[in-house]
Amino acid sequence: MPHLLDVLLGRASASGGEAEALSACLSSPLWVAGVLDAAPYPDVEALLEQADAAARALPTEAVLAALATHPRLGEEVPGDGPHECMCRLEQSSLPRDPASRERLLDAVSAYEARFGHHYLVRAAGLGEEEVLADLGERLGNDAAAELEVSADQLRQVALLRLQAVLSGVVTTPAEPQRP
C-alpha cells in the first residue's frame, strides 16, 4: 500500500484508504474532500496550504461535528484507533494525578456548560496550568468568538496530525509504517 504522502503528491496511485487516513487528522468529510479533491500537489507546502484552507472553510456545523469526535480533555481516551492514539499523544503532557485531573475536568465541564460543545486546545506540549489558563481566558469569550477560537484550534490540531502522518511519525490503518 502506498504512503499517503506519495498518493497526495501524485507519485503513487490511490489505494482507497486515503480518506480514512485523513479522517484521523480531522474527522470532517468536507475537510477530507477538500484535501483529496485538490490532489495531486506539487509539494508538501502546497498540500499543507490546502489542508489549512479547507479547515478554515468549514461551516459551523462541520466544526461542531468535528469537535464532538474529540474526547473530553483530561479523561482517559478509550480505543486504539489512530484518532485515539493521536489524542493520547497530544494529551501526554497533562498530569495524571487524581486531584489535577479533577481540577481539569471541572474546568472543562464549566466550558461545556457555557458553550454547549467540547473544549479543544492544541494540547501537545501544554501542561495543566497552561490549559487551565487557556480555559479561563476562553470562558470569557462570547459564543461567536469562542466558536472561532475552537475552529482555529481544530485547524491547528488537524495540521499537526497531518504533518505527523505525512512524516510517518503516526500511522493510520490505511498507512503503512515507513522504514
Residue 59 DSSP one-character state: -
Instruction: Evaluate whether 105 touches 72 at the Cβ level (below 8 Å).
Output: yes
Q: How many CB atoms lie within 10 A of CB 160?
A: 17
- Whose grid coordinates read 493510520? 172
What pLDDT does 86 receive? 78
Per-residue pLDDT in tens (0 to 9) along the chain, 179 residues: 578 999 999 999 998 889 988 999 999 999 999 999 999 999 999 999 999 999 999 999 999 999 999 888 877 777 777 777 777 777 777 777 888 888 989 999 999 999 999 999 998 778 888 999 999 999 999 999 999 999 999 999 999 999 988 987 766 554 444 44
Instruction: Evaluate whether 118 touches 94 at the Cβ level (below 8 Å).
Output: no
Closest CA to 137 of 119, 124, 125: 119
What pLDDT does 175 receive? 46
What pLDDT does 163 receive? 93
What pLDDT does 178 receive? 43
What pLDDT does 65 receive? 97
Domain boundaries, the chain: 4-167
What pLDDT does 171 receive? 65
Question: Span 4-167: which CATH code?
Answer: 1.10.3330.10
Query: What global pTM score does this model have?
Result: 0.89
Q: What is the DSSP string of 74-103?
A: TS-----SHHHHHHHHHTTTS--SHHHHHH
Length of the chain: 179
